[in-house]
Structure 1
Amino acid sequence: MRAPAAGGPVPLGQTAEPAAGPDGGGSLPDMTTTQQKAALPSRADVPREQTWDIEALFATPAAWDAEAQALPAAIDALAAHTGKLGSSPEALAAYLRQADEVELRLVRLLSYAGMGASVDGRDAVAAARRDQASTIAARFGSVTAFADPELLALDEGTVRGWLTRPDLKDDRIRLERLWRDRAHVRSAEVEELLGAVQAPFASERSIHPALANMDLRFGTAGGETITQGNVDRLTASPDREVRRQAWENYADAHLAVKHSQAAMYATNVRQNVFLARARHYPDAITATLAPNRIPVGVVTTLLDTYRAHTPTWHRYWNVRRRWLNLPELREYDVKAALVPPREVSYAQAVEWIAAGMAPLGEDYVRELRAGLTTERWVDYAENDGKRQGAYSNGGGRVKPYIFMTWNGTVASYSTLAHEIGHSMHSLLSQREHPYAVPRYTLFHAEVASNFNQAMVRQSLLKQARAAGDTDFEVALIEEALANFHRYFFIMPTLAAFELESYRRIEAGGTLSAPDLIDLTADLLQQGYGDGVTMDRERSGILWAQFSTHLYANFYAYQYATGISAAHQLLEQFAQDPEAARERYLAFLKSGGSLDPIDALKEAGVDMLSPEPVEATFRVLAGYVDRLEELLAQRSN
């Protein structure tokens, strides 16, 4: 019964897409103009239909305040079960039901608080609620620390016999997962201590975003002050000089504090190594992957297969250079638009997504459409103080929620398609299982989101090609390649960086700023080949531009495995649509009832093999082939 994630809007394994500089979030670059961004409405002035139905969680802020006052007493009451879990099956069931009820209340409290802070970072009351909810979450973790050690001390055979009872049958999965991790659960005293160190150990994870988002100054590009909120747009500007200034100045600001950043990251790595050893794991990556029964081979196979296929990326960079008619492609050119942007309304995007997901059946599409419209799952308004990025929140079993900002572009449509994949996953899995069954992991989650993007994109590409709308086809391919760049280029690079960083610390080495810069530059060079002319120092500081991805250890690789599994699943629809639909919907409904590797294997995807990554490189190669064809047509 470990505590939900404190301090964020997405507790208990639901899905968040953080924003942390270039390629750091779930949303694609903001391509709107400076003039469009100049005067944003206050939160109070945005249309209600563009906001999420947060009142479904708590009807009023006063209702949330009342729950925040009442919940600590309910948490403290759980301590009365200490020493009694094995006294009878009734006693065990009573604790688990009471703890689940309290935890679900806490999830809703955290969700509301995090959602409120996301939509208006200038709202001090919302920020205070978020901090208060985090404190309550930490209290829950401390009070319930006794449960796992006490459960493990019971006779397993006796407890297994109890699991046939109606009031305990839904607890089988989580108890079996606890038993398999028996060797890594310490005594109640040690567990309480390990829980208590989470807050002080999070210090560098809070320092980094404070430094990056509040203290760093990035200069200007094209006369506009560079911020975390506009750097993606500026590095995608049609003006190459603006792109260069934005990319270089953003990197230079991080380089100016490279030694502090390296010290923070090295501290984070050492802390995670300590925690892994405290729980008797051989290394930090095993400690992170083992609870979800993900073999380390999944990560190493991903990275080995990625490296073997980097020539596909090299080919893309060269096609991009020729399309943009540049003597050389620099890193500040990788986001430059190949065709003029096309305006896309939110209503149009809903229609595209609904039509694209039709192969999943009428029920799926009907609920998806309702969530995107009348049910108000989505907060897409653009308002002053709204944070960047996008995420999906399971909504505490009330309704799923999506956070994003609508910018009227193909990129916005893609973000919406991605996040509604998460939301439908939450809806279907929560409906299928009681709260006692574990929630799905990020490894599961990134499959669903990327699958939606891939399926809708495939539908739109067919339409564009049939209509002879070359510019729209290129825009869709660009959207795809921007998504691939984030999930299938940057994330594998960060995963390889992270794995090597941990290996160095675990071997007794150090992580200095020059070491980290050289490591990142070397890894990027593998992906760029001769297609991109690198500035090694500025390229190499990329690691410092990611807070959530690298400070949540062994997190980034799951984006690459997610997009890989999604594309292999999509291939199945070309072979046998009906069977593929049934397998995929079964995957969504399974939620966390199956470990992610097992759930995907039942859906026909073996993540221990190179095939999912190779399938995704086949798709990437197809996009590059088509760009070459269209470039040749334009040249003629």
Structure 2
Amino acid sequence: GVPSDIYSELSTSDIKWNEIELSDGTKLPITNAAYSKIVATNRNQEDRKKAFEALYNSFNTNKNTYASIYKSILQRDFASAQSRNYSSSLEKSLNPKDIPVEVYQSLIESTKENTAPLKRYIALRKKALGLKEYHYYDNSINIVDYNKEFSYEEAKESVLESVKPLGDSYYNGLNTALGEGWLDVYETSNKRSGAYSINIYDVHPYMLLNYNGTMDSVFTLAHELGHTMHSMLSTENQPYPISSYTIFVAEVASTFNERLLLDNMLKKTTDSKERIALIEQAISGIVGTYYIQTLFADYEYQAHQIVESGKAITPEILNNIMANLFSEYFGNEMSMDELQKIIWARIPHFYNSPYYVYQYATSFASSANLYNRITSDKYTPEEREASKNAYLELLKSGGNDHPMNQLKKAGVDLSKKDAFLAVSTEFNRLLDLLEEEINKEKGE
């Protein structure tokens, strides 16, 4: 655990944040939080560039130290795997959950084969934002300047209405979660950031939010309520020792809820700006939760293979892996900044929990498959009803089996590359909708 501890100290306690001056004269240090806010809300590309360079230089300054820490983690992982007769660090990491190495490899291979929608999206954004060059720090800004505020009551009503396709029992459970004082909703002094749902067996889940009225907050509410319902159904149907579900399936219910909310909100609005913002909200989930996390999983796989083949690890080698991956996944529409290559130094999961991030992508792909089986008109009403019941059984199963088996019972076999195609299919569908709405907004 020592390398992880050293990384935490270097990237938090000892890091030196660089100060910048924005185009409006504001001066501020660029921390992780400040960077996230600027790239998501500041419509001046030069300001986003300044924030990007300031943040990434904070890590680039110590690139040799970060590379040395990461090398020791890679060597530790392989030594541990060898001592237990595993052929690789990956095999050792996947074994406790009985996940075949082929699933990890299939995820990467299938995603690389289906990057066309991602490249199409970047080209669309570049044109819509009117940018001569598109950079990584342009990924988070919305195409339209949309700032509608949703009251918490409106958010609750929208989420509740959206889950009706899952039946009365699910709806009533969600209604209970929203109405019994289980949620700490608003930001207060000294409250931690973000959102989460934590389950207390034989009591109920508790949820932390920092609700601020944005569309993102509405989707966060739906997301965390997915975790809460998963926990409630697991607790009601499983004894304590096997009630906790694994990370491998943890994001299925949360992302499924988000898809339900998106469809419901799109049906209710005719405002082109709102429809564009909604579609972008959904697409950002695909890009961030599936494609980016698979890219990171690909990076981890390649970095571990370098050590396992007896070769050296240097900052330049790690930079080259990242440069090649971003080029492969995003294509030529995105201009590669030299500092972008150092992104491996600022992802805590690489240092604290190797071979973790791929599970975001597998959960997302599973959710996409299940959603398609439950809602698509290409299935009969009887088939959709059977798929819905199988999905609810998955949520009720907690940790009573290995996650691959649980998903197979629900109708998703991640050992087959085709299981990952549902993501790119949904991506293309949303891109068609986005192009249509952008043309409407322009009056074309």
Q: Note whether the superposition's TM-score is higher than 0.5.
A: yes
| Equivalent-residue separation in structure 1 for 2:191 and 2:18 (angstroms) | 20
Corresponding residue for residue 513 of structure 1: 315
Q: Aligned with 1:220: secondary structure?
A: strand
Asked if 1:590 corresponds to 2:393, the answer is no
Greater C-alpha radius of gyration? 1
Q: Would the aligned equivalents of 2:196 and 2:209 in 1 still touch at CA under 8 Å?
A: yes
Asked if 1:278 corresponds to 2:80, the answer is no
Corresponding residue for residue 225 of structure 1: 29
| Equivalent-residue separation in structure 2 for 1:296 and 1:210 (angstroms) | 33
- 2:289 alignment partner, one of 487, 492, 495: 487
- 2:156 alignment partner, one of 338, 341, 350: 350
Inter-CA distance 617–528: structure 2 relative to 1 (3 Å threshold): same
Asked if 1:631 corresponds to 2:435, the answer is no
* Offset of residue 549 of structure 1: 5.0
Q: Would the aligned equivalents of 1:229 and 1:388 in 2 still touch at CA under 8 Å?
A: no
- 2:56 alignment partner, one of 224, 227, 251: 251
Q: Aligned with 1:392: secondary structure?
A: strand
* Offset of residue 625 of structure 1: 1.5
Give TM-score scaled by structure 2 length: 0.92
Q: Would the aligned equivalents of 1:394 and 1:401 in 2 still touch at CA under 8 Å?
A: yes
| Equivalent-residue separation in structure 1 for 2:191 and 2:13 (angstroms) | 15
* Offset of residue 402 of structure 1: 2.5
* Offset of residue 420 of structure 1: 1.4
* Offset of residue 277 of structure 1: 2.2
* Offset of residue 550 of structure 1: 4.7
| Equivalent-residue separation in structure 2 for 1:369 and 1:212 (angstroms) | 41
* Offset of residue 397 of structure 1: 4.3
Q: Which amino acid aligns with 1:279?
A: R
Q: Would the aligned equivalents of 1:213 and 1:228 in 2 still touch at CA under 8 Å?
A: no
- 1:566 alignment partner, one of 367, 372, 376: 367
Q: Would the aligned equivalents of 1:221 and 1:234 in 2 still touch at CA under 8 Å?
A: no
Asked if 1:406 corresponds to 2:211, the answer is yes
| Equivalent-residue separation in structure 1 for 2:110 and 2:204 (angstroms) | 38
CA deviation vs aligned residue, 1:307-363 (integer Å, no higher than 9, x gap): 011121111001001111112212221111112222122222211111111111122
Inter-CA distance 403–517: structure 2 relative to 1 (3 Å threshold): farther
Q: Which runs of 5+ in 1 are unaligned?
A: 1-201
Q: Would the aligned equivalents of 1:349 and 1:413 in 2 still touch at CA under 8 Å?
A: yes
| Equivalent-residue separation in structure 2 for 1:383 and 1:485 (angstroms) | 31
CA deviation vs aligned residue, 1:471-507 (integer Å, no higher than 9, x gap): 1111111111221121122101110000111111111
CA deviation vs aligned residue, 1:251-276 (integer Å, no higher than 9, x gap): 11111111111111121222222222
* Offset of residue 462 of structure 1: 2.2
Q: How does 1:148-227 map to 2 (within 5 A)?
A: 202-216=1-15, 217-220=17-20, 222=22, 223-227=27-31
Inter-CA distance 324–451: structure 2 relative to 1 (3 Å threshold): same
* Offset of residue 235 of structure 1: 1.1
Asked if 1:606 corresponds to 2:402, the answer is no
Q: Aligned with 2:80: secondary structure?
A: helix
| Equivalent-residue separation in structure 1 for 2:158 and 2:417 (angstroms) | 32
Identity, % of aligned positions: 31
Q: Aligned with 1:403: secondary structure?
A: strand
Q: Aligned with 2:43: secondary structure?
A: coil
- 1:434 alignment partner, one of 219, 227, 239: 239
Q: How does 1:539-558 map to 2 (within 5 A)?
A: 539-558=340-359
| Equivalent-residue separation in structure 2 for 1:228 and 1:455 (angstroms) | 31
* Offset of residue 206 of structure 1: 2.6
Q: Which amino acid aligns with 2:154?
A: Q
Q: Which amino acid aligns with 1:265?
A: Y
| Equivalent-residue separation in structure 1 for 2:94 and 2:434 (angstroms) | 38
* Offset of residue 571 of structure 1: 0.7
| Equivalent-residue separation in structure 1 for 2:156 and 2:12 (angstroms) | 32
Asked if 1:462 corresponds to 2:264, the answer is no
Q: Would the aligned equivalents of 2:275 and 2:437 in 1 still touch at CA under 8 Å?
A: no
Q: Aligned with 1:205: secondary structure?
A: helix
Q: Would the aligned equivalents of 1:345 and 1:408 in 2 still touch at CA under 8 Å?
A: yes
* Offset of residue 240 of structure 1: 1.9
Asked if 1:268 corresponds to 2:43, the answer is no
Q: Which amino acid aligns with 1:245?
A: K
Give TM-score scaled by structure 1 length: 0.65
Asked if 1:502 corresponds to 2:301, the answer is no
Inter-CA distance 442–334: structure 2 relative to 1 (3 Å threshold): same
Corresponding residue for residue 179 of structure 2: 373
Inter-CA distance 549–404: structure 2 relative to 1 (3 Å threshold): farther
Q: Aligned with 1:436: secondary structure?
A: helix
- 1:391 alignment partner, one of 170, 189, 196: 196
Q: How many residues align?
A: 430
| Equivalent-residue separation in structure 2 for 1:325 and 1:522 (angstroms) | 26
| Equivalent-residue separation in structure 1 for 2:233 and 2:110 (angstroms) | 32
